[in-house]
Structure 1
Amino acid sequence: MANIKNDGVTLEAMTTRAVSLSDAVLRTPVVPLKTPLIGDLMGGGSVFLKLECFQHTGTFKARGALSVARQIPEDRLGAGITAASAGNHAIAAAWAARQCGMSAKVVMQNTANPFRIARARAEQADVILRDPGPDTFAEAERLSREEGRTFIHPFEGIDTTLGASGVGLELIQDVPELDAVIVSVGGGGLISGVAAAIKAVNPKCKVFGVEPTGADSMSRSLAAGQPIALDKVMTIADSLAPPMALPFGYALCAAYVDEIVTVTDDQICAGMVVLQQEAKLAVEPAAGAAIAGMIGPLRARLLGQKIGVVICGANMDAASYEVLLARGRDHLDELIAP
């Protein structure tokens, strides 16, 4: 594993940040997923779900966004914040701004799910729609430059990681003897914090990431030994689809993540079906990816073990959910096959 020096992501820093956010962030439940199917698939192992889908704004993103927002100097609060997002981060940034008494002007991709756009507006954000990719970020940069708004990055930076680390701290406190933790990976903001927290408390616990095959920037970066950008991304899991890894999140993943595996969109949809049928949870594709990673590419090495799975979010409208669920039912047998 890589060695990170002076990164500031220490157990003390993570614990202090979690305490400081506890007045506003929910301590989400950890529940066992104990059904005949899961027991058979995982060789009698124990599976525990960390339900960040019940966090404010519907995803773990609220933790990082509030962690960043609370570091904004008092003399800049009046200018408010901006963010660039496909959906979940915009919602969380708007929520965080509201908690801090700031205005939010967020830039969302014009391909974003209308449900997520409506959720951002419900958090009192002024929403601007732009083409995906560079145009979205360019508009947020313009707002920061011309209006003085603080840009809250969707996944990169120490304050984002410290905020997300609360997920890992809570999980390992509730289930101290975990053998492995599984986290879906987009830009790395979540897994960098979770992995750092897990390893600080229980170094023997393995941390596995799961990426879509069509958006595997972090696993490719780890293989290359440096952050890389993808020429294109193609996945239904839009919240796992940043086209690049960036230095801070990459370095933490290189240090603390044991391995990242990939799953197809069909497997992701099948994972959503598993969570609906076995856990009674209606989740977005990013959460389906984590359970698909456990049942698919990671299953053989996790048989009989005690496993934590982060259920990262559930921001999905009913119509889109049903389409993906139908696709998942068509591929469920492939995912759970021996």
Structure 2
Amino acid sequence: MINLARLQQAQARIADTLSPTPLVLDHTLTERLGRRVWLKGELFQRTGSFKARGALNWLRTAGREALEGGLGAVSAGNHALGLAWAARQVGVPVTIVMPENASPFKVEGSRELGAEVILHGDINEAWELMHRLVEEHGLTLVHPYDDERIMAGQGTVGLELLEQAPAATAILCPIGGGGLISGIGVAASSLRPALSLIGVEPVGAASMAHAWAQGGPARLERVSTCAKSLAAAIVGEHTYPLSRQNVRELVAVDEAAIRRAMHHLLYQAKLAAEPGAAVGVAALLEEAVALPPEGDIVVVITGGNLGSEELEEFL
């Protein structure tokens, strides 16, 4: 399992290329809740999401043998962008399989960064194809979340926000496959164990809640949500136990709540975030989460990769 030292090593490893992202005070939520609500702006990170952190940490710890046959990944889009960007730094080819309903903005962005992108089926069928490509072409699979080097890179978000928000008593973090919240959980449990780490999922893709209920990772038969970046059908073998160990509570928000949160981020917070990044704000707006009685709240805004057509439906 990853630990604080591995997060700190990852932070030092990527610091020359990836700058810390800011905390932005959400004035409307602060006034509504009577306590400061900070938004951790990972939409300002390279490639528009936190995923560049894990991808760069993975690349910088990979041996020559892992790179020489090229890399492969499955992604709804943000991991594809982060991995394509990081791999381009070292001239390594990348093949990405995305579901057919993937964001056109993310597909084109990944291709512009040099990745070969294949659109195939739903998320489960995309994984089936990638496993065949790995076997047939000798690609090295870079898992979007269930990889300790990826998780350590994502955990640098936690190291940053704990330093930036010394008065925080709660962190709300979106969950897809669980890589980000696992990394943040390691940081929080090591440096501020009394802090409440709360995971937020879409009702139509609550794969971590499903894992908790089943006692381990278990695949959802169907995933349906506008928050495509969180549409993992199954959480990881590594991310599940870390979430059970460090996450205080899981909350699910429905599509209407996500849309209201998107509207809030666009018009009140002035942030063009993507739907998957809005679920933490949705949980606060819906009063769906049990917060500590005092202290600051930090909501991780995971990314902002969406095209004009995708954005239009939330305006």
The two structures have a TM-score, normalised by structure 1, of 0.89
Is 2:188 the counterpart of 1:198?
Answer: yes
Change (3 A) 1:32 1:87: same
**Are residue 268 (structure 1) and residue 258 (structure 2) matched?**
yes
**Is 2:2 the partner of 1:40?**
no
Structure 1 pair 185/38, CA: closer, same or farther in 2 (3 Å)? same
- Superposed counterparts of 1:224-235, under 5 Å: 224-235=214-225
**Which residue of 1 is the match for residue 166 of structure 2?**
176
Q: Secondary structure at the match of 2:313?
A: helix
Aligned residue identity for 1:257: V
Structure 1 counterpart of 2:240: 250
Shift of 1:141: 2.0
Structure 1 residue runs of 4 or more that deviate by more than 6 Å after TM superposition: none
1:206-261 deviation per Cα after TM superposition (whole angstroms, max 9, x unaligned): 00010011111101222332222212111111111111122210000000000010
Identify the residue that residue 95 of structure 1 maps to in structure 2: 85
1:83–1:267 Cα change, 3 Å: same
Matched, 1:138 2:124: no
Aligned residues: 315
Residue segments in structure 2 that go unaligned for 5+ positions in a row: none
CA shift digits 1:285-313 (9 cap, x unpaired): 01111111122244563565310111000
Residues 1-338 of structure 1 correspond to what in structure 2 (within 5 A)? Answer: 7=1, 9-33=2-26, 35=27, 37-42=28-33, 44-298=34-288, 301-302=291-292, 304-325=294-315
- AA paired with 2:6? A
Is 1:155–1:187's contact at 8 Å kept on the other side of the alignment? yes
Letter of the 2:32 counterpart: L
> How far does residue 127 in structure 1 lie from its aligned partner after superposition?
1.4
Alpha carbons of 1:72 and 1:113: their partners in 2 closer, same or farther (altered >3 Å)?
same
Check conservation: 2:186, 2:246, Cα contact below 8 A: yes
Distance 1:324 1:129 in 2: 25
Q: Share of identical aligned residues, percent?
A: 37
How much has 1:109 moved relative to structure 2? 1.6
- Name stretches of at least 5 consecutive residues in structure 1 with no aligned partner: 1-6, 326-338
Distance in 1 (alpha carbons) for counterparts of 2:87 and 2:223: 30
CA–CA separation in structure 2 for the residues paired with 1:144 and 1:67: 21
What is the CA–CA distance in structure 1 between the aligned matches of 2:293 and 2:29, rounded to whole Å? 11
Give yes or no for contact 1:45–1:303 (8 Å, CA) kept in 2: no
Find the aligned partners of 2:10 and 2:130 in 1 and give their Cα distance.
27
* More displaced 10-residue stretch of structure 1: 259-268 or 60-69: 60-69
Paired with 2:184 and 2:106, the residues of 1 have a C-alpha distance of 25
Partner of 1:4: none
CA distance in 2, matches of 1:231, 1:132: 11
User: Bigger CA drift: 45-54 or 224-233?
Assistant: 224-233
Q: Secondary structure at the match of 1:137?
A: helix
On the 8 A contact 1:46/1:304 being kept in 2, the answer is no
